[in-house]
Copies of this chain bind each other. A is one copy, B any other.
């Protein structure tokens, strides 16, 4: 009974205040730095695509509304607080019906950059997080994993740490 009450209390507190993980997506654990999987990212609009030949992956670069609006207005250096960029990454595969076409194969991971100059000041104004595979396992053993992200993105510090250049559309 004591166990039951404890579980009930946790459930009630959880539903009233929302835990870090449940607020965005209750089925997916938060990253070790506390960032939760952005809600609805699969419905975000696309701003670019990429084929990385060094690790054989195909990517769709998507953004939340704030990011897409900023991208279309060219207001990306710096990106506005609240902008989130997402990379959907698949292993590169060959189109079975068109041999010279490289297309998405197995899903690798979804990774995100969340802009908040103050909140994420320690990591260059961006919060980083990545979820691996179809099981969406958070990347990193502890919060220090983000230093790896920052190190890789530092060469594009002059572009507000972002590699992606929004693709041009009419």
Residues of A within 8 A of B (CB): 42-46, 48-54, 58-60, 62, 88, 90, 95, 97-98, 100-104, 106-107, 110, 131, 133-136, 155-156, 159, 163, 165, 167-170
Q: Are A163 and B104 in contact (CB under 8 A)?
A: no
Given known pairs A49-B58, A49-B59, A51-B58, the reply for A42 and B169 (CB within 8 Å) is yes
Q: Are B52 and A104 in contact (CB under 8 A)?
A: no
Q: Are B62 and A167 in contact (CB under 8 A)?
A: no
A163 to B96 Cα, complex, angstroms: 9
Q: Are A46 and B60 in contact (CB under 8 A)?
A: yes
Q: Which residue of B lies closest to A93 (CB)?
A: B165
What is the CB-to-nearest-CB distance from A104 to chain B, in angstroms, rounded to a whole number? 4
Given known pairs A54-B100, A90-B167, the reply for A62 and B46 (CB within 8 Å) is yes
Q: Are B53 and A101 in contact (CB under 8 A)?
A: yes
Q: Which residue of B lies closest to A48 (CB)?
A: B104
Q: Are B53 and A100 in contact (CB under 8 A)?
A: yes
